[in-house]
Structure 1
Amino acid sequence: MNEPWRPSWESTAVYRARVRGCLLGGAVGDALGYPIEFSALDGIRAAHGARGVTGLVTTGSGAVGLISDDTQMTLFTAEGIRQAHAQQPSGRLGADAFRLIRWAYERWLATQDYAGSPEKCEIGPAGGSYTGPRDGLVTEAWLFARRAPGNACLSGLALDFVPDPAAPLGPPGPINPDSKGCGAVMRAAPFGLTGAAPEDAFDAAARCAQMTHGHPTGYYAAGALAAIVACLMTGESIEGAVLRSLRLLARHPGHEETTAALHGALDLAAQGAPSAERLQQLGAGWIAEEALAIGVYAALVAPDDVERALLLSVNHSGDSDSTGSICGNILGARHGDHGLPHAWVERVEGRTTIAALADDLAATCGPR
C-alpha cells in the first residue's frame, strides 16, 4: 500500500515564506508609494533629492509606513480566499467561494464607511448581504482608515454582484462596465498564493475583479497578476511567469490592451538602463494595464535587488502606491519575506497582522 505523499519541511517553509513575502512585499511597496501617490516626478525629486524617495517617508499626517487602500483590499481578499478554501479545500473556486470573497469586500467597505470609528461599524444588509460574525480583519482598528479608495471599488461594492463561474470571460461585466482602473489588479495577488494552477488563479482573480471593474482590461490585468504570482510560487523566473500569463491572456477575447502592456514591459526591460523616465513610457499606472506593466517592469529590471526595484516602481508621476504594491507582490512571491528589506518591513503599518494572515492563508491552502 502506497503511503500518502507529504510535503517536505523545506517545501512547506519555502511556500510559507513566499506567501508572507507576497503580502508583506506588497505592503512595503504600497507604503513607499503612498506619500507620493499624487506627486509629479519633478516634485518628488524637489522634495526628496535627485533620486526621489530612497526609503519610507512621512505622509501629510507625519506618520511613516502607512499603507493605502491597495493593501487594505489585498488583505481582505486574502481573508476571503482563506475562508473559501477552508470550506472548499481543493479544486477551482466556485460561486460559494466567490460569495465569501464578496462578503470580505463588504467588510472592507464597512471600514471605509466608518473610517476612524470602528466602534460604530455596522455590517449587514444595508451595505450588502453579509450578516456573519464580526471577526478577523474587521476587528482591526488600524484598518478603519480611508486612504483614497477608488470610486469603482466603492460604487461596485455598493451593488450585490457575485460572478457566475460558468459564464464566459470576455464581454464587459455588469458592474462599472467601462472601468479599467487599477483598483482590481492591485488587490489580485492573493489568488496566486493558494497553490492553484496559474490558469485557475487567473480565472478566479478575473471573475472577482468583475465585482467592481467590468471592463475586460480591468479584470484581465487582475487575472494576469494572479497568474504571475502563481508561477512565481512554483519557482519560475519573473520573465517566465510573465510569458506564461501572456499565453493565458491569449485565450480570451478582448485581451489586447493587457497583452500589449505586458509586451511593452518586457521590451523596455530588455533595453537595459532602467530609469524613471524610461518607466514612464509605460504610463502613469492609474489604469489597470499600466499599473501592471510598471510593476512588472520594475521587477524585471532588478529581479535580485528588491530595494532598487521597489524604489524604481514608486518614483514616477502617477499611482505610485499601486505600482509599488504590485512590484512588491511579485518580488515577495519570488524571494519570500526573508528577501525583503527588513528595515522597511519593520516600519510598515500592521505588519504583524499581515504576517499572521499570511501564515493562516499558507496553513489553509499550503502543500498537502
Structure 2
Amino acid sequence: MRRPIDDLPEYRSRVRGCLLGGALGDALGAPVEFESLGGIRRQYGSAGLTEPAPDWRGKVGLITDDTQMTLFTLEGLIRGENVTAVRRAYLRWLDTQQHSSPPPADGGVRTGRLREQRWLYSRRAPGNACLSGLRHGQAAAPAPFGEPGPVNPGSKGCGTVMRSAPFGFRARSARHAFELAAECAQVTHGHPTGYLAAGAFAAIVHFLMNDLATDDSATDSAPLAQAVRRAMDLLAAYPSHEETTGALRAAVSLAAEGAPSPERVESLGGAWIAEEALAIAVYCALVNPEPGDIRQALLLAVNHSGDSDSTGAVCGNLLGALHGEASLPGDWLVHLEGRDAITELADDFAAWSTGGHEPTGDWLTKYPGD
C-alpha cells in the first residue's frame, strides 16, 4: 500500500493540516480557556463561541504555549529525533517564556532559526510543570514505562499531550511514535498517565498520517475511530495505562450515545490533566469526523469549562492529520498568528522526512544537528 509519506504533496498536506489545525483550535480556545461554560454563554450567546473571537488584548488568532511547544517539538525531531534533541528544543522554547526577544546565540542550545522568530517571544499561559521541568537542571534518563518519571513525578497535566502530535509524523511504527512521545513527555511530567497519554496521542496521529487505521476486520470503517481503537490496543500493553484507557473508552462510548453537546463534553472532565484533554479532543473529532465538519469539531472542543485551548489544539491536530490542509477553514486561517512560519516548518519537516531536502549551509543554519 502506498502511504502518504511516499507522496510528498499528500504528506506535506497532512503535516500542514495537523500543525495548522492544531494552531487554529488553540487560537480559537484561548480567549475562553479560563471561562466556565455558563460564562461563555453569557458572553457569546446561548450557542457559546461560534467563530474566532478577540482575546483580552483585542486580538484574534493568537496562539498559546500549546502551539509554541508543538513547533519546538517538530524542530527537535528534525535536529535529532531523540529525547536529548527534543529537550534542547524545549529549552529554546523556555527562552521564549523568559525573554522578550531572542538571547544571543551561544553555539549550544541557543542555535537554529526557529528560536530567532520574535513572534514566539510571548508568554501565553505556559503550564507550571513545563516551566519547572525545564528549569530542573540536568537531563535525567526516562523512567521505565509505568513508573514515575524523574522530573515532576506527580504531574500529569495536559502539557504532555498538547505538544506531542509531531511524534506521530515520521516514526517507524506506532510503537516507536508512542514510546518516543512518552519518553519526551517525561522531560517535564513524571506521572505515568501524563506521559502515556502523550504516547497514545502520538500513536493515533501516526495511524492517521500513514493511512494505517483501516482494518478490514473492523466493523467500523471510520478511520479516526479505528485509529483510536488501535492506539488503545497498543496502550494496553504498558503498565499504568488504566487511567488513559478509561478516558479514551469513555470518549468512544460517549460518541455513540447521541447528539454532541458541551454538557456531554464536560462529562469527560475539565481537560487540565492529560487523559481528559485527550479524551475530549478525541470525542469532539469522533462526532465530527468528515472534512467539512472541522469548524463544528473545533467549536465543540472549546465550548466547555476546562482547558479550551488545549482541547481545541489536540482536536485540530487529529482532524488536520486525517484530512490535510485543504479541509481547514480559510477564513479562520487568515487571522492565525504565525501561519507562514508554521507552514514553512511543516514543509521543511515533510521535505526532511521524504528525502526532499539538501543539507546545504542554509538548511544547517536552520537546523544544526543536536
- In structure 1, runs of 5+ residues without a counterpart are 1-5, 86-96, 125-129
For residues 92-138 of structure 1, the C-alpha deviation after alignment (integer angstroms, 9 at most, x for no partner) is xxxxx221111100000001011xx205x2576xxxxx824533211
Alignment partner, residue 71 of structure 1: 67
> Could you say what the CA RMSD is over the residues aligned between the two structures, in angstroms?
2.0
Instruction: Please give the residue correspondences for 1:142-291 in structure 2 after superposition, counting only pairs within 5 Å.
Output: 142-162=119-139, 164=141, 168-235=144-211, 236=213, 237-291=223-277
Q: Following TM superposition, by how much is the alpha carbon of 1:164 offset from its aligned partner in structure 2, in angstroms?
A: 4.0
**Aligned CA distance change for structure 1 residues 290 and 25 (closer, same or farther; 3 Å):** same
Which secondary structure does the structure 1 equivalent of 2:122 belong to?
coil
**Aligned CA distance change for structure 1 residues 328 and 110 (closer, same or farther; 3 Å):** same
**Aligned CA distance change for structure 1 residues 57 and 168 (closer, same or farther; 3 Å):** same
Which secondary structure does the structure 2 equivalent of 1:189 belong to?
coil
Q: Distance in 1 between matches of 2:104 and 2:307?
A: 31
Which secondary structure does the structure 1 equivalent of 2:170 belong to?
coil
Instruction: Please give the residue correspondences for 1:4-43 in structure 2 after superposition, counting only pairs within 5 Å.
Output: 11-43=7-39
For residues 210-250 of structure 1, the C-alpha deviation after alignment (integer angstroms, 9 at most, x for no partner) is 00000000000100110000000122311111111111111
Alignment partner, residue 297 of structure 2: 309
Which secondary structure does the structure 2 equivalent of 1:267 belong to?
helix
Q: Please say if residues 5 and 354 of structure 2, whose CA atoms lie closer than 8 Å, have aligned partners that are also in contact.
A: no
For residues 54-113 of structure 1, the C-alpha deviation after alignment (integer angstroms, 9 at most, x for no partner) is 11100111111000000000000011011125xxxxxxxxxxx22111110000000101
The number of aligned residues is 344
Which secondary structure does the structure 2 equivalent of 1:187 belong to?
coil
Q: Distance in 2 between matches of 1:151 and 1:122?
A: 25
Q: Following TM superposition, by how much is the alpha carbon of 1:187 offset from its aligned partner in structure 2, in angstroms?
A: 0.3
Q: Please say if residues 92 and 109 of structure 2, whose CA atoms lie closer than 8 Å, have aligned partners that are also in contact.
A: no
Q: Please say if residues 194 and 366 of structure 1, whose CA atoms lie closer than 8 Å, have aligned partners that are also in contact.
A: no
Identity %: 56
Alignment partner, residue 348 of structure 1: 336
**Aligned CA distance change for structure 1 residues 341 and 134 (closer, same or farther; 3 Å):** same
Amino acid at match of 2:101: P
1:100 counterpart (85, 97, 100): 85
**Aligned CA distance change for structure 1 residues 232 and 367 (closer, same or farther; 3 Å):** farther
Q: Distance in 2 between matches of 1:175 and 1:8?
A: 36
- In structure 2, runs of 5+ residues without a counterpart are 214-222, 357-370
For residues 325-354 of structure 1, the C-alpha deviation after alignment (integer angstroms, 9 at most, x for no partner) is 000000000000111111111211000000
Instruction: Please give the residue correspondences for 1:324-343 in structure 2 after superposition, counting only pairs within 5 Å.
Output: 324-343=312-331
Q: Please say if residues 206 and 223 of structure 1, whose CA atoms lie closer than 8 Å, have aligned partners that are also in contact.
A: yes
Which secondary structure does the structure 2 equivalent of 1:185 belong to?
coil
Q: Please say if residues 64 and 125 of structure 2, whose CA atoms lie closer than 8 Å, have aligned partners that are also in contact.
A: yes
Alignment partner, residue 90 of structure 1: none
Q: Distance in 2 between matches of 1:355 and 1:81?
A: 16
Q: Distance in 2 between matches of 1:192 and 1:17?
A: 15
Q: Distance in 2 between matches of 1:293 and 1:299?
A: 10
Alignment partner, residue 366 of structure 2: none
Amino acid at match of 1:348: L
For residues 227-276 of structure 1, the C-alpha deviation after alignment (integer angstroms, 9 at most, x for no partner) is 00000012231111111111111111100000000000000001121000
